Structure 1
């Protein structure tokens, strides 16, 4: 079994770095979209492959550009995505790292499937979880 980790293409919160890091739900820039289209030419995603994506706009846009028409789609989980280290509980999470809630996702992406393992990760994302819960 092969596992491939892909982040996302260049996103809007990096246009005026670091001033835009608190931008809520930044999407891909045109440059980011071109990066993903170029990446798609260099990787082989098969129709039966499982794609797990974090519930952020930039990652959802990335996976949409990576998938071909014959692919079955992706599943969304708040348990994937970057975890910042060291995670100091005194620091407020950046706006760009806020995930979509399940209610927002059901409106924006009604055809997507979700992985829900019963944790409260949908409320706070892995970047905001305390270390013990994350572990």
Structure 2
């Protein structure tokens, strides 16, 4: 299975950085939308691909501009996660995910991945590394059982945490994808 990580486009919370980081549910800016539209020319989805989307407004908007909603699936296991991880850091309000109830009312045509885990109430943003590894590996195993490739539309910190989990070493913030960036790991 190949995994392609896609970072959301420029978000509203970055317009007056860092003063807007406590803005709840920021969406994409016009620049962010144009970045994602440009990315469409580089990304090809097939009907059997799995597209996991972080349950935040900016990642959902990114996903809806990129892919058919019939392929999209929400998972809190690809929601915002700090990098480097430090349990003493307080998460920003902009990184709060939508609840299952909010998602089911706003996005009726997008599925939610449950995997028998109650991880909607427990944010991966401050989850200890051991628990995150267990849950993330379960999600990746589920992805391997699907027929196509996996795409993850998420956030810099989350993507970097997954890349490390999948075997990359020595990553730092300089390895972040940037706005509407993509990165593919093959045969994971």
Residue 72 of structure 1 aligns with which residue?
Answer: 70
Structure number with greater CO (CA < 8 Å, separation at least 6) is 2
Residue 127 of structure 1 aligns with which residue?
Answer: 125
Tell me if the contact between 2:49 and 2:71 (Cα under 8 Å) persists in the aligned partners. no
**1:61 maps onto 2:84 in alignment:** no
- The separation in 1 between residues aligned to 2:51 and 2:119, in whole angstroms, is 19
**1:105 maps onto 2:111 in alignment:** no
- The separation in 1 between residues aligned to 2:6 and 2:15, in whole angstroms, is 20
Secondary structure at 1:9's aligned position in 2? Answer: coil
TM-score by length of 1: 0.89
- Count matched residues: 133
Name whichever structure is richer in strand by fraction.
2
Secondary structure at 2:59's aligned position in 1? Answer: helix
Correspondences of 1:24-35 after superposition (within 5 Å): 24-35=24-35
Residue segments in structure 1 that go unaligned for 5+ positions in a row:
none
- The separation in 1 between residues aligned to 2:18 and 2:116, in whole angstroms, is 34
The runs of at least 4 aligned residues of structure 1 exceeding 6 Å deviation read none
Residue 10 of structure 1 aligns with which residue?
Answer: 10
- The separation in 2 between residues aligned to 1:9 and 1:128, in whole angstroms, is 23
The 1:134/1:55 distance shift into structure 2, 3 A limit, reads same
Residue segments in structure 2 that go unaligned for 5+ positions in a row:
134-188
Residue 90 of structure 1 aligns with which residue?
Answer: 88
TM-score by length of 2: 0.65
Superposed CA deviations along residues 27-75 of structure 1, whole A, max 9, x for unmatched, are: 000000000110001121122211011100000000000014xx63201
